[in-house]
Amino acid sequence: MITVTGLRKAYGDVVALDGVDLHVGKGEVFGVLGRSGAGKSTLLRCVNLLERPDEGTVTVDGRELTALGAADLRRARQRIGMIHQHFALLSSRTVAGNVAFPLEVMGVGRAARARRVAEMLDLVGLADRAGAYPAQLSGGQKQRVGIARALAAEPSVLLSDEATSALDPATTQSILALLRRLNRELGLTILLITHEMDVIKAVCDSAAIMSDGRITETGRIPDLLATPGSRLAAELFPLPPAEPGIVTVALGGDQTLLSRLARAYDVDVAVVGGAVEQVAGAPAGRLRLRITGAGAADALTHLRERGLLPEEDR
Ligand SMILES: Nc1ncnc2c1ncn2[C@@H]1O[C@H](COP(=O)(O)OP(=O)(O)OP(=O)(O)O)[C@@H](O)[C@H]1O
């Protein structure tokens, strides 16, 4: 749905993007994680061409944006919604007026606009606040307005620029849950940038780490958890150094792995440490295990062959 190749962008001597390749599949929630200054915002602004890259291509929903002229680009951009850290609402307009704004720009008629605004406010749970002004809303409500506005023109892609960074933890979780629901119900593809691990854990199917204008790691989160030396896995699920005789097992979608292992190989499996949490709605993480008994070596071979011993080769 989003493909970026060889993206470069410099501001004078500062190289913000240094050859970025990225692919976000249709219906995926994809998170780009990185420290301040890594180039995340620049990447997001290049994806909808608010910023023109010096080199490289950006393709969204089958159209190469970097090859379009101004008028075509304006139309293509309508298929890309965006939400912002500080909401970027118009303070002189009501909630309904803010959501209607992109539809007015597109020339949608009054009746269709009103219908669509009501539908969007219903979708984000703000039907009763249509006449309120942004100053009368909480941060979470403001971001819901931002989301309703971003989706008003029925985009296929939503870009999220640190959308929960200004919100408290409980509100953050409710906004992330809303994004996940919109992803499921509307099939919306979401590309988000964040510096928060919890955001990645809560909503993302896939993630990339960005550092100094480059993507250093990318993949589906369960795959990264099973990848030797993965920095993302280590940051998502930090574990102390392993002791001798203890193995680290990646836990992905297979929740009955350990009981089946114990039955099949006649081994005892002791959990001596680990970090497991809900990742995009399913349990995932890493476990530290001591596996003993007659079939221990075969059990380890079974895990190794399935690529579930990510720390073994390090
Ligand atoms: N308009 C600009 N003019 C000059 N330099 C810029 C501009 N935008 C970004 N930069 C520089 O490019 C680099 C990457 O910035 P960018 O904002 O993309 O990083 P980021 O990962 O989003 O960080 P943050 O989370 O702090 O916004 C930084 O060194 C930044 O100072």
Tell me the pLDDT tens digit for each residue of 1-58.
999 999 999 999 999 999 999 999 999 999 999 999 999 999 999 999 999 999 999 9
Q: Is the CB of 14 under 6 A from ligand 1?
A: yes
Distance from residue 42's CA to the centre of ligand 1 (Å) = 6
Buried b (16+ CB within 10 A) or exposed e, 215-229: bebbbbbbebbbbee
Residue 246 has pLDDT above 50, yes or no: yes
User: For atom 11 of ligand 1, which residue has the closest CA?
Assistant: 16
Read off the pLDDT of residues 164-222 as tens digits, 9 standing for 90 and up.
999 999 999 999 999 999 999 999 999 999 999 889 988 999 999 999 999 999 999 88
Question: What pLDDT, on the 0 to 100 scale, is given for residue 232?
Answer: 87
Q: Is 38 left (phi over 0), alpha (psi -120 to 50) or beta?
A: alpha
Closest-CA residue, ligand 1 atom 7, reads 11
Cβ of 282 closer than 6 Å to ligand 1, yes or no, is: no
Q: Counting Cβ atoms within 10 Å, is residue 190 exposed (0-12), middle (13-18) or buried (19+)?
A: buried
Q: Residue 49 phi/psi, 5° resolution?
A: 60, 25
Q: Which of 42, 194, 196, 210 for mutating ligand 1's site (highest number of atoms within 8 Å of CB)?
A: 42
- What's the gap in Å between 40 CA and the centre of ligand 1? 8
Q: Give mean pLDDT, residues 95-115.
A: 95
Whether the per-residue pLDDT at 300 is higher than 50: the answer is yes
Taking the alpha carbons of 201, 81, 63, 214 in that order, is the dihedral positive or negative? negative
> Contact 72/23 with Cβ under 8 angstroms?
no
Measured from the Cα of 34, ligand 1's closest atom is: 21
Task: Please report the atom of ligand 1 found closest to the CA of residue 213.
Answer: 14
Residue 110 binned pLDDT confidence (cut-offs 50, 70, 90): very high
Mean pLDDT of 119-145: 96
pLDDT above 60 (res 255): yes
**pLDDT band with cut points at 50, 70 and 90 for residue 313:** low
* Closest ligand 1 atom, residue 9 Cα: 12
Q: Using alpha carbons, select from 207, 208, 180 the residue that is nearest to residue 280.
A: 180
CA of 243 to the centre of ligand 1 (A): 41
Confidence of residue 236 (pLDDT cuts 50, 70, 90): confident
CB atoms inside a 10 Å sphere around CB 303:
19
Q: Among 7, 8, 14, 50, which is best to mutate for testing ligand 1, by the most ligand atoms less than 8 A from CB? A: 14
pLDDT at 228 over 90: no
State the pLDDT at residue 31. Answer: 96
Range of weakest confidence among 9-13, 132-136, 305-309: 305-309
Q: Is the CB of 37 under 6 A from ligand 1?
A: yes
Read off the pLDDT band of 314 (50, 70, 90): very low
Q: Is 50 in the pocket of ligand 1 (CB under 6 A)?
A: no
Which residue has its alpha carbon closest to ligand 1 atom 25?
36
- State if residue 42 touches ligand 1 by the CB under 6 angstroms criterion: yes
**How high is the pLDDT of residue 226?**
79
Contacts of 170 (CB under 8 A, 6+ apart): none
Which protein residue's CA is at the shortest distance from atom 28 of ligand 1? 37
- The DSSP annotation for the chain comes to -EEEEEEEEEETTEEEEEEEEEEE-TT-EEEEEE-TTSSHHHHHHHHTTSS--SEEEEEETTEEGGG--HHHHHHHHTTEEEEETT----TTS-HHHHHHHHHHHHT--HHHHHHHHHHHHHHTT-GGGTT--GGGS-HHHHHHHHHHHHHTT--SEEEEESTTTTS-HHHHHHHHHHHHHHHHHH--EEEEEES-HHHHHHH-SEEEEEETTEEEEEEEHHHHHTSTT-HHHHHHS--PPPPTT-EEEEE-S-TTHHHHHHHHHT-EEEEEEEEEEEETTEEEEEEEEEEESTTHHHHHHHHHHTT--TTTT-
pLDDT per position as a tens digit, 57-103: 999 999 999 999 999 999 898 889 999 999 999 999 999 999 999 99
Question: How many angstroms separate the Cα of 56 from the Cα of each of 49, 52, 59?
Answer: 12, 10, 10
Under 8 Å between Cβ of 292 and 246: no
- 187 Cα: distance to centroid of ligand 1 (angstroms): 31
Q: What is this structure's pTM?
A: 0.87
Q: How many A from CA of 257 to the centre of ligand 1? A: 44
- Does 38 contact ligand 1 (Cβ within 6 A)? yes
Cβ of 102 less than 6 Å from ligand 1: no
Q: Is 46 in the pocket of ligand 1 (CB under 6 A)?
A: no
